[in-house]
Amino acid sequence: MPYREALAAQQARNDAIAAGEAAELIWLLEHPPVYTAGTSADAAELLDARFDVVETGRGGRHTYHGPGQRVGYVLLDLSRRGRDVRRFVHALEGWVIATLGDFGVESWAVSDRIGIWTRDVDGSEAKIGAIGVRVRRWVTMHGFSVNIAPDLSHFSGIVPCGIAEYGVTSLEKLGITLAPGAWDEALQARSEAFLAALSD
């Protein structure tokens, strides 16, 4: 789905959830190639605007979305779930990390670096997933992305999330072939634990 269409749909659903007119939503999808800019984006970190660049309103800097990458939009009503944005972000990280572990990939969050990190094929630390959220009227938007088998050269048009000293990797680069549906099923199997973590 084109990114701008998904963003408009998220904004409408966010409004509807806040008004009590729609259910919460976890939405898994894929976008055509696009660079997105968060509220902290630095124009100097957009190195080659070869794809559409969209300002999103989420936190964070520039990131890339494209084919072979699973994007998860998480629209939850935190007014019913403790109103704790930090806990929400940590639970989101934990959900992605646990699901990657189901496929034999050890990954982790780093307190001073946004995203989900793992060991690349050369042993260096590299980003395998991105996290970026926005909260409007206590309803969350945006969420995470995980690199299953994207064209990693597309990340070279930006400084991903403003972090130049580390690379980007994918399940495919790590030697793991995975259909998007298999990722979705594994993520869904852990969704109850993710939601429970919001109310612990």
Instruction: Using a pLDDT cut of 70, give the percent of the chain over it.
Output: 99
- Amino acid identity, residue 8? A
Judge whether 146 and 69 are in contact, CB under 8 Å.
Answer: yes
Confidence of residue 66 (pLDDT cuts 50, 70, 90): very high
Q: Are strands 107-110 and 167-168 parallel, antiparallel or unpaired?
A: unpaired
The answer to whether the Cα torsion of 115, 146, 200, 88 is positive or negative is: positive
Q: Domains in the chain: how many in total?
A: 1
How far apart are alpha carbons 106 and 83 in whole angstroms? 30
Which tens digits make up the pLDDT trace of 32-60?
999 999 888 898 899 999 999 999 988 88
How far apart are alpha carbons 168 and 65 in whole angstroms? 13
| pLDDT at residue 60 in the model | 84
Alpha carbon distance, N-terminus to C-terminus of the chain: 34
Average pLDDT score, the chain = 94
Confidence of residue 111 (pLDDT cuts 50, 70, 90): confident
Q: What is the CATH number of the domain that holds 184?
A: 3.30.930.10
Contacting residues for 176 by C-beta, under 8 A, at least 6 apart: 103, 104, 105
Question: Closest by alpha carbon to 140, among 78, 48, 50, 61?
Answer: 78
Q: How many CB atoms lie within 10 A of CB 21?
A: 9
Q: Angle, nearest 10°, between helix axes 180-189 and 85-102?
A: 120
How far apart are alpha carbons 186 and 26 in whole angstroms? 14
How far apart are alpha carbons 200 and 197 in whole angstroms? 5
| pLDDT at residue 36 in the model | 94
Which tens digits make up the pLDDT trace of 121-153?
999 999 999 999 999 999 999 999 999 999 999
Give ∠ CA 195-35-175 in degrees, rounded to 5: 65
How far apart are alpha carbons 132 and 114 in whole angstroms? 8
Catalytic residues: 161
Show the domain range for 96.
Answer: 3-197
